[in-house]
Amino acid sequence: DGEPQMQSGDNTNAFVKNHKCKDEKNANANVENHTPIPNNNKPIINKPNNQNDNTYIVEIVEYLNQVCGTNYKATTKKTQQLIVARLNEGFSVDEFKTVIDKQFKKWVGTEWQQYLRPNTLFNGDKFEGYLNAPISTGKSIEGHEISQEEDCPY
């Protein structure tokens, strides 16, 4: 191709020095220009941005309190952030309820019952795992029983 080839016995450093590109424009001559890929993802929002978010937050927290016999507030900033983050990831209110039901049945009456709280249930690292966990057998606390039909709405 017309380029000088290094021969056996040539001084490598001298060869490289003599054949370095002296013109910066030529250094990138074979590099194609690419248009950046636009970010079409919707922005991640860490706080409720509309009435629907607030409605969903209240519904989810009220359901958690009803099932678990707790009294968490829908107005707590951390709880709101966790719920809105999962909603922004595409999870539905029904999926939150499924996570609550599954983890309630799994943890009620055990040392894990103390973790039936928003910070644990709605955490980004664990939420999808809880959602896809196998269905446990029904347990009851303060008269709330979850039937197998409620576990799997499909």
Domain ranges of the chain: 51-151
User: So what's the pLDDT on residue 85?
Assistant: 96
Q: What is the pLDDT of residues 85-129, one digit of tens each?
A: 999 999 999 999 999 999 999 999 999 999 999 999 999 999 999
Global model pTM greater than 0.85:
no
pLDDT tier at 14, thresholds 50, 70, 90: low
pLDDT > 90: percent of the chain:
52
- The DSSP annotation for 27-47 comes to HTTTPPP-PPPP--SPPP-SS
Closest-CA residue to 108 (of 67, 71, 79): 67
The yes-or-no verdict on residue 47 having pLDDT over 90 is no
